[in-house]
Amino acid sequence: MAQYHPDDEWLTGYASGAVNEQTSVLVATHLTYCPQCREEVARQEEIAGAMLDALEPEDAAAEICAREIAAPASRSVGAKGEAAPRGSFNAIAPAPLIQYVYEKTGTTDIDRLPWSFYGPGIERAILVEDKEGAIVRLFRAQPDAKFPDHEHGSDELTVVLTGAYSDHTGRYAVGDVQCAPKEISHRPVVEKGEICIALVVSEKPAVAKSFAVRMAQRILGR
């Protein structure tokens, strides 16, 4: 069972819907391994539900009611992305991450992910690198591999999928989340015995701005 959990701010952001896509997949991955955090998110959703009840109702088109039921195959229902096929990644990753990786790379086969050399015994596969500064990648490190001492340009969130690593802040195993603020410099070392695969998300604090801009564009564009 996971020992290291996302900061309260990420859990609350997940429950309220404020976190971005990559933080959402990282938190959902942890939640799969962590019943306590799942309960916390459920509790916060109950709080939000109670607040929804207390809202002053807005006028809503009441006549739609009958149409909702009459239209069993509504255009919007089930309009999900294509389901990910089974691959070797299924054995080590929770469902939300499998779907995410499939949508970004088109494969669920670990060996067909876009791995590139990162350091001795360490490979990296970049899943997302967007204009807004979000970088999402998987690392695959051999037992005993040592990451170079590094600092981050921004806060960094890691969740472990297989194996374990340690740095001066602790030992991180399957399901654990490390929230490394940009000030800290660390040097993770992979444990003996098992390959360590982890998802790493670099968080850019400017999420809210880009969201507001996108929303304004969408509303004005209509």
Provide the binding-site residues for Zn ion, judged by CB under 5 A: 2, 5, 34, 37
CB of 53 vs other proteins, minimal distance in Å: 5
For residues 12 and 167, which CB has a smaller minimum distance to other proteins in the complex?
12
Among 4, 5, 27, 137, binds other proteins (CB under 8 A): 27
Residues numbered 114 to 153 that lie near other proteins (CB under 8 A) are: none
Number of residues that bind other proteins (CB under 8 A): 75
For residues 9 and 111, which CB has a smaller minimum distance to other proteins in the complex?
9
CB of 12 vs other proteins, minimal distance in Å: 6
For residues 25 and 125, which CB has a smaller minimum distance to Zn ion in the complex?
25
Among 3, 39, 109, 130, binds other proteins (CB under 8 A): 39
- Following CA atoms 64, 68, 70, 71 in sequence, which dihedral angle do they give, to the nearest 10 degrees? 120
**By the 8 A CB rule, do 84 and 99 touch?**
yes
50 binds, among other proteins, Zn ion, none (CB under 5 to 8 A by kind): other proteins
What's the token pair of residue 77?
């229902």
Which residues are CB-contacts of 187 (< 8 A; sequence separation ≥ 6)? 146, 147, 148, 149, 150, 167, 168
51 binds, among other proteins, Zn ion, none (CB under 5 to 8 A by kind): other proteins
Which residues are CB-contacts of 94 (< 8 A; sequence separation ≥ 6)? 28, 29, 32, 33
For residues 41 and 190, which CB has a smaller minimum distance to other proteins in the complex?
41
For residues 18 and 195, which CB has a smaller minimum distance to other proteins in the complex?
18
CB of 116 vs Zn ion, minimal distance in Å: 31
Residues numbered 155 to 214 that lie near other proteins (CB under 8 A) are: 175, 205, 207-208, 211, 214
5 binds, among Zn ion, other proteins, none (CB under 5 to 8 A by kind): Zn ion
How many Cβ atoms from other residues are within 10 Å of residue 20's Cβ? 18
Q: How far is CA 168 from the centre of its chain?
A: 24
**By the 8 A CB rule, do 158 and 200 touch?**
yes
3-class SS at 150? strand
Question: Could you give the CA distance from residue 167 to residue 186 in angstroms, rounded to a whole number?
Answer: 6
Residues numbered 44 to 103 that lie near other proteins (CB under 8 A) are: 44-62, 64-65, 68-69, 71-72, 74, 76-78, 93-97, 99-100, 103
**CA neighbours closer than 13 Å in the CB half-sphere of residue 63:** 0
Q: How far is CA 21 from the centre of its chain?
A: 7
**CA neighbours closer than 13 Å in the CB half-sphere of residue 55:** 9
